[in-house]
Structure 1
Amino acid sequence: MPTPRTLLAIPVSLAFLCLSTAASQAGPAPATNTLVRLLVTRGRAPAAALLAHAGTGFRRTWSGTDHARPGTDHARTETDLSQAGTDHSQAETHLARAESSYASGRTEYTQAGTGISRADHFRAGSITKTFIATVVLQLAAEHRLSLSDTVEQHLPGLVRGAGNDGRALTLRSLLTHTSGLYDFAAATGGTIPVSPTEAVLIALTHPPADRGRFSYSNTNYVLLGLVVRQVTGHSYATEAERRIIAPLRLTGTSFPGSRTTLPSPHGRAYATDGSDVTDLDPRVAGAAGELVTTLADLNRFYSALLGGALLPPHWLREMLNTRTAHGSYGMGVFPVKLPCGITVWGHNGRISGSYVRTAATVGGRRVLTFRVNTSGIADPGLEPALLAAEFCPRTS
C-alpha cells in the first residue's frame, strides 16, 4: 500500500539508462523483455511478469444526460452501471461489443524468473483503491451521495479525536488523499489484521496532517468503504462485484474478506527477507488494498475505466482531475508524464509478498500491468523505464 508518487521523484535519466540495454532494437517488445528480466536481476525479485494490451479499448456512448435522474430505480442503476435511460439488455449488448473490440487488439506477455504464470491470481494491494473510487463515483452519478458531503453526514461521530473532525472532511478529500488523516498502516506495518473501525480508531490516535495537502493515507479508503455500506446497505465488495467485476467478466478478481489463501492457479509470494507470505489475512488492508486479481483482469478493468465504460464523461473527468491534490493524485488513480510527453494513468499496489503496477493511456487503448512476487523492487529506476518502454514511441 505505497505512496504512488514516489516514482515521480526518479530522474528521467534513469529511465533512459535502463532503456539503453535495448536501444538498438526496434519496437517495444525487446526493451520490455529486457526490463522484465532486470526486475529479477537488478530488482531482486524472485520472478516478474508483464502483460500489455494495445487495441481500440472499451468504449461506450453515453446517451442522454451524464447523471442518473433523481429517483431512478435503484436496481436498474445497479445493473446498467448507472447509465441513465438504458435498460439492462441494451447495456449488456453494448458491453459485449466493447469487450469484443478489446479482445481484438494485440496482447503481449513476458516473464522472468520462475514461479509466475500468466493466469496466476495475486494480491493487488492499493490498486483496490481504483475499484473503490469507481464505486463511489458511480454512486455520485446516481445522486446517492455528493463528493461535497462531509464524512460526518454518512458516518456520524466516527471521525473525532486528536484534532480530527469528520464534520470538516468531505468525501472528495478522502478520494484525493487531502483529508490529512493519519495512515493506519504506518502503525500496523501492513501486517496486523484489523476491522475497518479499528483501522480508523488507530488513525485517530494521531493528529492530522495539514488538511488540503496531498498526504497518502490508507485510512481514507477504509472510510470510503464504510461510506459505501452506509449509502447502499451492502459492503464495498458486494457493490464492486455487481457494478464492476461481474459486468466486465473479471473472472479472476475477488475481494477475499478474511480468506487467507489465494484462488488457483497461483504461485508463491515472498517477503523481502525471503520468507513465504503466500497465505495472508487481507484484513491487513481492507478497502485500501484487499483485492485479489490477475494480469488480464487488471488490464481489462483499466481499459474499460479509462475508455468510459464504467463512468459517464463528467465523472470520469472528475476522477482524472488532480487539481484538489495539486497534481499528485486524481480519485483512485494518478498520472505519470513520461519522458516522451505521454501521460499515463493508473495505480500501483504493494502488500506483503506482492508489488503490482498498472498504467494506461486516456481512452484505454493501451494498457499494461506488471508484477513481481515480492514486496518491492530493489532498483526504483526500473518502473519508470518499463512505462517508457511500453508507451513511448521508439525508433531503430
Structure 2
Amino acid sequence: MSLRSGLTGAVATVAVTAVALTVPAAAAPRAADHADHTATRQAMDAAVTAGVPGVTATARQGSITWRATSGAGDLRTGAPRSPQDHYRVGSITKTFVSTVLLQLEAEGRLSLDDTVEKWLPGTVRGNGHDGRRITLRNLLNHTSGIFSYTADEPFARTHTLDGFLEHRYDTLKPEELVAVAMSHEPDFAPGASWNYSNTNYVVAGMVIESVTGHSYAQEIRERIIKPLGLHATSVPGTRSTVPQPSSRAYGKLATTATGATYDVTELNPSMASSAGEMISDSADLNRFYSALLTGKLLPPKQLKEMKTTVPARGIPNVRYGLGLTDRTLSCGVHVWGHGGGIHGSVSEAVTTADGRHSLAFNFNGDWTGDSDAVIEAEYCGK
C-alpha cells in the first residue's frame, strides 16, 4: 500500500512516499539472499497489464545486480523500456535534501532545532503560519503543519489538460510556491500532528541556500552526486527534457484514471522545486540509498536522527523519518527508502537497513499500477 499524493495535487494520482511500519531491529528478518526474481518480474508484468505503459527496475543484492523491464517506453513506436532509463524521481528528491541539511548539522552550521525564521525571516508567515514556531526538524518530518501548495485548487487546475498544455513550460520560483501555501491556513499547530506537505521541502531547499550561499542543487551535486559517482542523477532546475537514454512519460491529465493518455515527458520541473524535481536511474538510486543507510553520507548521530520516525496521521502502519520512510513488509522484512511521483512518473527506491539488498523502479505512467506489489515481490517473493 502506498500513500498516494502528488506534486501536481489531485491531478495525477502518483505515489509520493511508501508506507512503513517500524519493528524492533532484533525482530526484523533478514531479506533472503536469492537470485530468483521471478515474482518481481511477474509483479512488473501485472502493472503493465493493469495499464502502466512500462516498468524498469534494478535490484542489487551484495555484489549481484539484476535488471529487468516490462512494457513500452514509447507508446507511439512500441520501443521497450531500458534498464538504463533516466526518469523523474519526484519526492525521492526529499531524501537528498534532508541528507544535505543533516550534513550541515554535522558540520555545526545549523541545528535541527533552529527555527525557519532564523534562516528565512518573514518567509513562512500568513493566515496563521509562523516560522518562529516551526523548526527544521518539523519541516523534514512533516510535522510543521504548513499547508502543501500542491493541495491548492487553483494550482492543481493548472495541471489538468488545458492548464498543463498552457503552463507546462512555466518557471516557478520557490518563493512563489511558498506564497501559494501561505494563502491558506496551516493544517495544524507545529508539532501537533503529521501531514505530508511538499511546501516543507521547498522551504528546506531555501534554508540550504540561506546557510551555504549556494543553491540546494549545487550542494546536492557537490556533496552527494559527485562523491558517489551518480552519473545518471541530476537536479534539472528549469530544463524541460529528460537525458537519454529515457522513455516517454504518460498521464491522463485528469482526476480520473480513464480517458485519453497524453505524453507529458517534457515539463518545467521548477513547479516541484526541492520537493521533487530530480532525475535519476535505478542503479544510481540503489547506490544512493545503500550508501546512506551504511553511513557513507552521514555520521552515526545524524543517521540516527534521519531514522527517528513519527506516525503518519490517518494512515495505518506508516512512519516517516527525516526524508526517509520506514516500512516492514508482509513477510517481516524491514526496508527504508522513499517514493516519488510527478507527471507521468511513479518511482520507488528501498533498501534493507544493512544496505545489502536494494530495489529501485519506475512506472512511466501516473494513473495506475501497484508499486507496493513490486516491492513485496522482490523481498517476500509474492
TMscore range, shorter length:
0.7 to 0.9
Deviations 1:316-345 (A, max 9, x none): 111011047676210111111111112211
Residue matched to 2:3: none
CA distance in 2, matches of 1:308, 1:359: 16
Superposed, 1:322-337 pairs within 5 Å as: 322-323=309-310, 328-337=319-328
Q: Do the aligned partners of 1:328 and 1:334 also contact (CA within 8 Å) in 2?
A: yes
Equivalent position to 1:119, from 74, 84, 100: 84
Q: Which amino acid aligns with 2:143?
A: T
| 2:144 is the counterpart of 1:179 | yes
Residue matched to 1:164: 129
Equivalent position to 2:182, from 204, 207, 214: 204
CA distance in 1, matches of 2:312, 2:240: 34
Q: CA deviation at 1:385?
A: 2.4
Q: CA deviation at 1:299?
A: 0.8
Residue matched to 2:10: none
Residue matched to 1:136: 101
Q: Do the aligned partners of 2:15 and 2:347 also contact (CA within 8 Å) in 1?
A: no
Residue matched to 1:252: 232
Equivalent position to 1:301, from 260, 282, 288: 288
Q: Do the aligned partners of 1:121 and 1:252 also contact (CA within 8 Å) in 2?
A: yes
Deviations 1:269-300 (A, max 9, x none): 11134111111101110000010111111111
CA distance in 2, matches of 1:307, 1:30: 28
Structure possessing the higher radius of gyration over alpha carbons: 1
Runs of 5+ consecutive residues of structure 1 not aligned to the other structure: 10-25, 56-104
Q: CA deviation at 1:384?
A: 2.5
Residue matched to 1:88: none
Residue matched to 2:25: none
Equivalent position to 2:41, from 9, 29, 33: 33
Superposed, 1:18-57 pairs within 5 Å as: 28-42=36-50, 44-55=51-62
Q: Do the aligned partners of 1:336 and 1:343 also contact (CA within 8 Å) in 2?
A: yes
CA distance in 1, matches of 2:374, 2:244: 28
Flag the 1:292–1:135 CA change in 2: closer, same or farther, 3 A: same
* Identity %, equivalent residues: 46
Residue matched to 1:281: 268
SS of 1:348's equivalent in the other structure is strand
CA distance in 2, matches of 1:300, 1:227: 26
Q: Do the aligned partners of 1:253 and 1:293 also contact (CA within 8 Å) in 2?
A: yes
Q: Do the aligned partners of 2:251 and 2:264 also contact (CA within 8 Å) in 1?
A: yes
TM-score (normalizing by structure 2): 0.81
Deviations 1:76-110 (A, max 9, x none): xxxxxxxxxxxxxxxxxxxxxxxxxxxxx111111
Superposed, 1:57-76 pairs within 5 Å as: none
Question: How many residue pairs align between the two structures?
Answer: 325
Residue matched to 2:307: 320
| Structure (1 or 2) with the greater strand fraction | 2
Q: Which amino acid aligns with 1:50?
A: A
CA distance in 1, matches of 2:344, 2:116: 33
SS of 2:319's equivalent in the other structure is coil
Flag the 1:40–1:325 CA change in 2: closer, same or farther, 3 A: closer
Residue matched to 1:67: none
Q: Which amino acid aligns with 2:285?
A: L
Q: CA deviation at 1:31?
A: 0.6
Flag the 1:342–1:7 CA change in 2: closer, same or farther, 3 A: same
Equivalent position to 2:115, from 132, 150, 157: 150
CA distance in 2, matches of 1:37, 1:325: 31
Q: CA deviation at 1:264?
A: 1.5
Deviations 1:208-231 (A, max 9, x none): 012321100000000000000000
Q: Which amino acid aligns with 2:362?
A: R
Q: Which amino acid aligns with 2:64?
A: R
Cα RMSD for the two superposed structures = 1.9
Q: Do the aligned partners of 1:333 and 1:347 also contact (CA within 8 Å) in 2?
A: yes
Q: Do the aligned partners of 1:28 and 1:389 also contact (CA within 8 Å) in 2?
A: no
CA distance in 2, matches of 1:6, 1:54: 21
CA distance in 2, matches of 1:107, 1:142: 35
Residue matched to 1:383: 371
Q: CA deviation at 1:383?
A: 2.5
Q: Do the aligned partners of 1:308 and 1:363 also contact (CA within 8 Å) in 2?
A: no
| 2:331 is the counterpart of 1:340 | yes
Q: Do the aligned partners of 1:3 and 1:216 also contact (CA within 8 Å) in 2?
A: no
